[in-house]
Structure 1
């Protein structure tokens, strides 16, 4: 009798435990579904659909960004996307090694979780950080390209795909950024793009640096024509959109009106180059049938901000209006172009006296109004 009672109690206990487990599982599934629905709704809310198509309105985070400032900037600028960097440590300009910074990777994952919950898209960028950030990726030129590209594929891109891009479903992955010195290595870069396509089904992009041409340079393969190299880069046929770091040199004046900057985008004044930046970007899009995205768009808060936008200190004279005029000019020229996918403000996420590119109040108003 007691033996039968004991068996009955055990059975009931098992049923009770099973029921509790099922209830807990149902609650967890419900919470996950709620989160998924919430995130989907937030993504839909944060899409920017204009008469000229769906647009990306993004900001590049500086490597030393903070979570709080990043979230403040997203709200203030009305962004639907954030360019999240993962620091890639490279010891020198001729180094063949590139190593993911573990702390930067963890930080990126933590932020992306927050951004996903808010419905903010992510462009994930392996960010070349050379000699602790002292040197620029535009000057990187590895001694052994075979070794470097193998490291870039297997040691950088593959772990980032497996550990971040795939599980957190980022909007796009940037497979290379501003590698001016070896961008002509077409076979290597094509191999990189095909490697990424095999391992990642999401969107990919490649970021090329700004260039200049001169109307007076009529020689074949002219010294001042770096545009042809970019225009003919076959890696662009394998990406979903073409990213351009848009630090184009516009004028030779310390300060400029918006009208003058708009005219300069169509015909640059500096060194009488008369470069038609608008047409060159449009042709780049047309050649590869891909939209063009300003992967970096920024101006220092200084006089000469549009003379050398790539220089964080082109002058020692502080000038917020010159920065704002730069953003306004690009807005007036490119906002309505269907082939232009959008822009990413350089740089946000950290605000202090050393951040010359951080947008001033006037620039924030311009950026916030873009696509409205």
Structure 2
């Protein structure tokens, strides 16, 4: 083989290898607020090397068996509405940050959305109509801003379980409106049973898996805790041949934060900054190296960076904590 031809083939191989290594989604869940945002609010996202944000407009229902969703009203915070979504997206996109639109439902009194369930066929029909109006509003907005990903629902297990045909048809209708990638944010204990993974682009998981019952588990202990969950994730991934996306992941900076990582409705507990760091490091070690893993979105990031988090805060945000610096290091790799 001639030397020039050998070099050409080597160059071609290197190019193909580089192209096959798709950059991970190093995302943050950017919390909707009362305010418009500007550079002073996006700088902290850029500083931690995040290349994606999840923007989260909201709809509201009064109780778990109430079928009507109120959304995009003047009574809501600006960031929870369509106008807010468009304004937030523009600010991030001009900085080169990509967007996942992730509409969510809030049940009054903080009830878990996975338990939304109607008690009559009439109510199910009303809920389906109402949810379609809600999600189509933001599918159109996602198309308008050329968002890279649209999340079609978040933690709606009983709705999905009881009305699978509705969701199949909904996906078809959404694709007529929005031309980008689709996902659904399944709760950590729901993702194995979602019936429509084959019809969308990412298997979305809110990754609050229980990993350890220790007060302050080490990175190694947390990685051991990941083993059975990772095996289940791989099984689902291989069944549908779709990449896994952690639509939410994160840990509170509190003792025993890996026992029930999904718990957010309590503020008590001793601050443990290292436990949060260890949780984020372990999940990154286990997943970011995998070819079938698309990346994920840290829960959660507030716009007024200087006023949140800090060394006395035991909540999910990594802002102004050692976890923030860790995210910056991990996301720039």
TM-score band, normalised by shorter chain? 0.7 to 0.9
Report Cα offsets for 1:171-203 as digits up to 9, x if no partner: 111111101223313222212111211222211
- Displacement of 1:314: 7.8
- TM-score norm. by structure 1 comes to 0.74
Matched, 1:101 2:78: no
Match of residue 33 from structure 1:
none
Q: Matches of residues 13-162 of structure 1 in structure 2 within 5 Å?
A: 52-64=21-33, 67=37, 70-102=41-73, 103=78, 104-105=80-81, 106-131=83-108, 134-143=110-119, 144-153=123-132, 155-162=133-140
- Displacement of 1:210: 0.5
- Displacement of 1:146: 2.0
- Displacement of 1:246: 0.4
Matched, 1:169 2:129: no
Q: Which has the larger radius of gyration?
A: 1
Match of residue 308 from structure 2:
352
Matched, 1:189 2:145: no
- Displacement of 1:126: 1.1
Report Cα offsets for 1:296-332 as digits up to 9, x if no partner: 0011111011111111248511111101100000011
- Displacement of 1:51: 7.5
Given that residues 222 and 282 in structure 2 are in contact (C-alpha distance below 8 angstroms), is that contact kept between their aligned partners in structure 1? yes
- State the superposition RMSD in angstroms: 2.2
- Displacement of 1:286: 1.0
Given that residues 70 and 348 in structure 1 are in contact (C-alpha distance below 8 angstroms), is that contact kept between their aligned partners in structure 2? no
Structure 1 residues 51 and 289: CA distance shift in structure 2, 3 A: closer
In 1: Cα distance, 2:251 partner to 2:232 partner:
21
In 1: Cα distance, 2:100 partner to 2:118 partner:
26
Structure 1 residues 343 and 70: CA distance shift in structure 2, 3 A: farther
Structure 1 residues 258 and 355: CA distance shift in structure 2, 3 A: closer
Q: Matches of residues 325-336 of structure 1 in structure 2 within 5 Å?
A: 325-336=278-289
Given that residues 58 and 104 in structure 2 are in contact (C-alpha distance below 8 angstroms), is that contact kept between their aligned partners in structure 1? yes
SS in 2 for 1:263: helix
- Displacement of 1:50: 9.3
Structure 1 residues 355 and 264: CA distance shift in structure 2, 3 A: closer
Matched, 1:241 2:224: no
4+ aligned runs moved over 6 Å, structure 1: none
SS in 1 for 2:59: strand
What runs of 5+ residues in structure 1 fail to find an aligned partner?
1-48, 212-225, 267-275
Match of residue 252 from structure 2:
300
Structure 1 residues 135 and 76: CA distance shift in structure 2, 3 A: farther
Structure 1 residues 355 and 263: CA distance shift in structure 2, 3 A: closer
- Displacement of 1:145: 2.0
SS in 2 for 1:305: coil
In 1: Cα distance, 2:19 partner to 2:215 partner:
34
Match of residue 309 from structure 1:
261
Match of residue 329 from structure 2:
369
- Displacement of 1:70: 4.5
Query: How many residue pairs get matched?
Result: 295
Given that residues 303 and 314 in structure 1 are in contact (C-alpha distance below 8 angstroms), is that contact kept between their aligned partners in structure 2? no
Structure 1 residues 315 and 261: CA distance shift in structure 2, 3 A: farther
SS in 2 for 1:95: coil
In 2: Cα distance, 1:284 partner to 1:256 partner:
28
Match of residue 183 from structure 2:
205
- TM-score norm. by structure 2 comes to 0.82
What runs of 5+ residues in structure 2 fail to find an aligned partner?
1-17
Matched, 1:263 2:219: no
In 2: Cα distance, 1:314 partner to 1:352 partner:
15
- Displacement of 1:366: 2.1
Structure 1 residues 341 and 111: CA distance shift in structure 2, 3 A: same
